[in-house]
């Protein structure tokens, strides 16, 4: 069932008449407009059938003016406008949101697009850019849209060449950008990070964390970026420093050090059929046993499991609710978060360093 | 406990930064409705959101002879009916329920506690709960002193770092019994172990009161006698007794609602800014308000000018005809238990001197509404002679449609000056689409992480009782007549008089 229902028919309008058309919709419909921020969305393809489900859910949960851009084979800029209300409220007594789509022709001047966007932003409200495509930080359209925004939401899982693109992103983060970065791939990892942390909350299990000897991290095809984020989050939190790597079967053998101690990481891709979920991690302490974090369901759904073997054995199953890692939920969560995630920044910069070492 | 978690280096990046340390929660009175409808669903939901520690267990204790499995089955039904994550995959319940245990015993029998201690030691081994205990007293209040004494005798409250006690309402039946209970509590435990729960404080919008007042610069300068004419606090219910006649006949509206929920709302609205958002600072300020609070019966303290008590007669609840209070099952035919009360208070301090505060609450009223309304003074001069402006009102709605609205005057479009009040409205549900947690989720988690801010302190409870004691005494001495109101109305006409005597009227909600 759709999260929103249209308040009016979506209409194509000249780009100079967008505001007038929206005013007309509101005065005719008798609904209340709500907006707590401006959301600019860039997508590589046109949404099928008007408003797509993801944007519908997001706007129903986070009232905003949504401006969706996508490239078009047509010439110049063209626009469509509409308004949508949460399906639960219906059109009566609703608080509804505006939805503007801009088709950007290949020959459309960037300056014109930027000027148009500036005129369409609701004053005095934050601007969020959701770049729903692989990022190339040197792409002029990306840079122009980024300039307009206070927050950039993207998904590092979409990076086509992570070895090149992630260091480029990290350089921007490291360069003191005033922008808040939200990586949906990082948010997708939240249940994993939280559950891993929980496993070591009990003082009796903490020693196993501080005496790790080896980590075996196996990831399914397509989940490599996620696995890197998890691994480097774990090692950086434990203050392990990357030292070197060597090629291994289906992956890498990575070496980290802390003082005199060494941590070996087997970082391997395994066939999807062998891996339930994006990856699994075995945290091995020779002294205290092994902690296994894995998914018991398919993809990102179902349960995450922790198995703790060895001293202080206990087994628990904690849930990652099936819709928590949906794109809609991830986006909604990230739109609420206003602060820069310093840990993510640290992790991305550390991954970039490792990438540079692997592929100089 | 917080110190221990901070030592987990993986914690500082976790989204659930309010993680709790391993613990076993022991529920006394576990066969009651509260466990099935509120406590376990709240714990389950916390678990679903990974806010419970991995090493967690629940032990239910009551007289009913149940096996662990029977108890789990009973709770499972409750989770399916009342948890927000009722549709979680079945293995989640399976995993949660592995940490659920039951012990049957007589609460007065020391042997029960010896056996409980053995069971808890076994649970520690199985679940890794490390000897940490959270005792939840949800029995009849008569058992509170007995349980506390027995727990103490069994050596289960000795360490304030590893054992905590949550005490459900009602905390005493008057000032004397509240003081006695406090004495008992503090003879076996430290105040920092004790969590007197009032679930109203776990509601998001009640907490938003603090953010609204102290997170914005524009309201606080207006929040005093210079700008406000009076304050109204309304908590109205449409329901009747709902099978709780035994409890309600003893308690009545004053003990059921005013001494706890409404007093807490009043405190949050009227307190001074705390120096920090921590338990001590917030609770210190609440206590100051209660100390300055008194019934305002004018010269001579005429109780009838500050209190109206009522009882619902037959009438309507929506389209259903409902009986009067005295016709309800298990209610005595000449019961004088009040189901409605309207009160007028004054606060003797610089901020509130001369600002009356009106409270009203009752059962079987027209609507289910909880609202705090701050009415501003009239403009000092009538600039528009043909138009009498309505007073500005800042209304903080707690339920339903949680939010804030500000009423002010606007010019009606047209060739001449005509004024019309309009509302500027903020609705929680519109601005924040996310689902809000249940009050018990927030409070149980707070307790587990050791945050007492939203729990009432011993002196706070006693001060709240002190404030309402003249009302109880006056009723006992029949100084305030019992009035009757039709079910489905807004209460007795005498309540309208109470506020009208000062030139105001209740808001039409």
* pLDDT tens digits in sequence order for chain B, 509 residues long: 334 555 888 886 545 456 688 899 999 999 999 999 999 999 999 988 888 888 899 999 999 999 999 999 999 999 999 999 888 888 888 889 999 999 999 999 999 999 999 999 999 988 888 899 999 999 999 999 999 999 999 999 999 999 999 999 889 999 999 999 999 999 999 999 999 999 989 988 788 889 999 999 999 999 999 999 999 999 999 999 988 898 899 899 999 999 999 999 999 999 999 999 999 999 999 999 999 999 998 777 789 899 999 999 999 887 789 999 999 999 999 999 999 999 999 999 999 999 999 999 999 999 999 999 999 999 988 888 777 788 999 999 988 878 889 998 888 888 888 888 888 877 776 666 656 788 999 999 999 999 999 999 999 999 999 999 999 999 999 889 999 999 999 999 999 999 999 999 999 88
Point out the residue among B12, B92, B130 whose CB comes nearest to the CB of A317: B92
Residue A256's pLDDT is what?
A: 96
Residues 56-85 of B with CB under 8 A from A: 85
Tell me which chain B residues have a C-beta less than 8 angstroms from the C-beta of A318. Answer: 47, 50, 54, 92, 95
C-alpha span between B405 and B209 (Å, rounded): 13
pLDDT band of A198, cuts 50, 70, 90: confident
The reply to whether omega before A278 is within 30° of 0 (cis) is no
The reply to whether omega before B170 is within 30° of 0 (cis) is yes
Q: Which of B102, B85, B75, B9 is nearest to B51 (CA)?
A: B85
Residue of A nearest to B23 (CA): A202
pTM of the model: 0.83
- Across the A:B interface, residue pairs with CB atoms under 8 Å apart total 124
Tell me which chain A residues have a C-beta less than 8 angstroms from the C-beta of B432. Answer: 61, 336
β-bridge mates for residue A253, sequence order = A246, A266
Contact A201 B128 (CB under 8 A): no
Mean pLDDT of A335-358: 86
Mean pLDDT of A189-210: 84
* 8 A C-beta contact, residue A2 and residue A53: yes
Q: Is the pLDDT of residue A92 over 50?
A: no
Residues 416-455 of B with CB under 8 A from A: 427, 430-434
Token pair listed for B152: 């103490």
pLDDT band of A82, cuts 50, 70, 90: confident
Element holding B481 (H helix, E strand): none
Residues 1-40 of B with CB under 8 A from A: 4-5, 7-16, 19-22
Point out the residue among B8, B95, B432 whose CB comes nearest to the CB of A200: B8
C-alpha span between B372 and B265 (Å, rounded): 8
Close Cβ partners of B215 (under 8 Å, ≥ 6 residues apart) = none
Token pair listed for A78: 């063209």
Q: Which of B476, B119, B61 is nearest to B307 (CA)?
A: B476
Contact B430 A34 (CB under 8 A): yes
Q: Is the pLDDT of residue A253 over 60?
A: yes
Residue of A nearest to B52 (CA): A198
Tell me which chain A residues have a C-beta less than 8 angstroms from the C-beta of B19. Answer: 194, 197-198, 201
- Of B103, B199, B230, B261, the active-site residue reads B261
Point out the residue among B13, B130, B433 whose CB comes nearest to the CB of A193: B13
CB half-sphere exposure, A208, CA atoms < 13 A: 25
Residue B486's pLDDT is what?
A: 95
A179 secondary structure, DSSP code:
S
Note the pLDDT tens digit of each residue in A298-309.
544 467 777 777
Residue A91's pLDDT is what?
A: 46
Close Cβ partners of B121 (under 8 Å, ≥ 6 residues apart) = none
Token pair listed for A143: 């840079």
Residue of B nearest to A59 (CA): B433
Residues 91-130 of B with CB under 8 A from A: 91-92, 94-95, 126-128, 130
Q: Taking all residues of chain A, what is their mean pLDDT, rounded to a whole number?
A: 83
Residue of A nearest to B427 (CA): A95
Q: Is A126 on the interface with B (CB under 8 A)?
A: no
* 8 A C-beta contact, residue A137 and residue A28: no
- CA A49 to chain CA centroid, Å, is 25
Q: Is the pLDDT of residue A72 over 70?
A: yes
Is B199 a catalytic site residue? no
* 8 A C-beta contact, residue A324 and residue A191: yes
Q: Tell me what percent of the residues of chain A surpass a pLDDT of 70.
A: 87
Contact B128 A196 (CB under 8 A): no
Contact A197 B434 (CB under 8 A): no
Residue A319's pLDDT is what?
A: 55
Residue B153's pLDDT is what?
A: 96
């Amino acid at each position: 069932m759709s999260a929103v229902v249209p308040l009016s028919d979506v209409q194509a309008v000249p780009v100079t008449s967008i505001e007038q058309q929206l005013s007309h919709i509101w005065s005719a419909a008798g609904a209340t407009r709500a907006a707590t921020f401006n959301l600019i969305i860039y997508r590589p393809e046109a949404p099928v059938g008007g408003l797509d489900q993801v944007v519908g859910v997001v706007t129903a949960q986070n009232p905003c003016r949504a401006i969706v851009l996508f490239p078009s084979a047509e010439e110049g800029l063209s626009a469509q406008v509409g308004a949508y209300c949460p399906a639960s409220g219906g059109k009566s007594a609703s608080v509804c949101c505006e939805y503007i789509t801009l088709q950007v022709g290949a020959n459309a001047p960037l300056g014109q697009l930027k000027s148009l966007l500036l005129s369409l932003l609701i004053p005095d409200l934050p601007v969020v850019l959701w770049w729903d495509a692989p990022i190339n930080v040197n792409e002029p359209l990306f840079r122009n849209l980024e300039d307009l925004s206070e927050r950039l939401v993207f998904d590092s899982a979409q990076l086509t060449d992570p070895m090149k693109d992630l260091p480029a992103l990290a350089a921007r983060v490291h360069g003191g950008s005033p922008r808040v970065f939200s990586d949906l791939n990082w948010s997708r990892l939240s249940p994993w990070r939280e559950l891993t942390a929980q496993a070591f909350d009990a003082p009796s299990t903490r020693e196993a964390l501080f005496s790790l000897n080896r980590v075996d991290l196996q990831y399914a095809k397509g989940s490599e970026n996620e696995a890197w984020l998890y691994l480097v989050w774990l090692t950086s939190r434990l203050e392990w420093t990357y030292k070197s790597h060597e090629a291994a079967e289906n992956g890498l053998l990575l070496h980290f050090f802390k003082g005199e101690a060494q941590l070996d990481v087997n970082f391997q891709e395994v066939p999807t059929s062998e891996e339930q979920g994006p990856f699994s991690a075995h945290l091995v302490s020779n002294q205290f046993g092994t902690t296994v974090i894995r998914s018991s369901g398919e993809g990102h759904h179902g349960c995450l499991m922790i198995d703790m073997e060895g001293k202080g054995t206990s087994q628990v199953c904690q849930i990652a609710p099936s819709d928590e890692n949906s794109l809609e939920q991830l986006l909604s969560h990230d739109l609420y978060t206003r602060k820069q995630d310093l840990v993510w920044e640290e992790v991305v910069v550390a991954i970039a360093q490792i990438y540079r070492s692997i592929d100089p | 406990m917080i110190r221990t978690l901070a030592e987990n280096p993986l914690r500082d990046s976790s989204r659930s930064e309010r993680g709790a340390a391993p613990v076993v929660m022991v529920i006394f009175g576990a066969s009651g409705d509260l466990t099935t409808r509120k406590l376990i669903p709240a714990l389950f939901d916390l678990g679903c959101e990974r806010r419970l520690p991995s090493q967690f267990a629940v032990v239910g204790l009551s007289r009913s002879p149940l096996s662990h499995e029977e108890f789990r089955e009973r709770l499972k039904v409750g989770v399916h009916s009342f948890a927000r994550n009722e549709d979680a995959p079945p293995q989640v319940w399976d995993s949660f329920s592995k940490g659920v245990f039951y012990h049957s015993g007589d609460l007065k029998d020391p042997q029960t506690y010896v056996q409980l201690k053995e069971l808890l030691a076994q649970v520690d081994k199985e679940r890794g709960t490390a000897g940490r205990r959270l005792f939840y007293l949800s029995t009849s209040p008569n058992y509170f002193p007995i349980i506390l004494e027995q727990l103490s005798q069994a050596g289960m409250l000795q360490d304030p770092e590893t054992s905590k006690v949550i005490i459900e309402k009602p905390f005493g039946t008057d000032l004397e019994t509240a003081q006695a209970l406090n004495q008992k509590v503090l003879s076996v435990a430290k105040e920092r172990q004790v969590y007197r729960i009032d679930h109203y404080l776990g509601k998001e919008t009640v907490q938003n009161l603090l953010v609204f007042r102290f997170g914005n610069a524009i309201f606080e300068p207006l929040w005093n006698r210079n700008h406000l004419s009076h304050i109204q606090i309304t908590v109205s219910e449409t329901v009747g007794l709902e099978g709780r006649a035994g409890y309600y006949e003893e308690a009545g509206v004053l003990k059921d609602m005013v001494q706890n929920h409404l007093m807490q709302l009043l405190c949050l609205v009227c307190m001074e800014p705390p120096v920090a958002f921590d338990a001590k600072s917030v609770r210190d300020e609440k206590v100051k308000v209660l100390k300055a609070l008194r019934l305002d019966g004018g010269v001579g303290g005429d109780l009838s000018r500050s209190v109206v008590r009522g009882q619902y007669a037959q009438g309507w609840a929506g389209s259903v005809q409902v009986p009067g209070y005295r016709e309800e099952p298990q209610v005595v035919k000449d019961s004088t238990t009040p189901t409605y009360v309207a009160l007028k208070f004054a606060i003797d301090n610089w901020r509130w001197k001369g600002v009356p505060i009106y409270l009203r609450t009752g059962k079987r009223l027209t609507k289910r509404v909880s609202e705090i309304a701050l009415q501003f003074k009239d403009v000092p001069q009538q600039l528009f002679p043909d138009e009498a402006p309505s007073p500005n009102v800042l209304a903080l709605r707690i339920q339903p449609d949680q939010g804030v609205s500000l009423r002010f005057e606007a010019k009606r479009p047209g060739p001449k000056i005509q004024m019309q009040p309009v509302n500027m409205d903020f609705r929680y549900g519109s601005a924040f689409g996310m689902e809000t947690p249940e009050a018990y989720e927030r409070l149980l988690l707070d307790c587990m992480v050791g945050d007492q801010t939203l729990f009432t302190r011993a002196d706070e409870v006693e001060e709240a009782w002190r404030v309402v004691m003249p009302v109880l005494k006056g009723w006992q001495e029949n100084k305030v007549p019992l009035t009757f109101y039709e079910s489905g109305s807004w209460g007795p006409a005498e309540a309208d008089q109470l506020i009208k005597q000062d030139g105001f009227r209740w808001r039409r909600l």
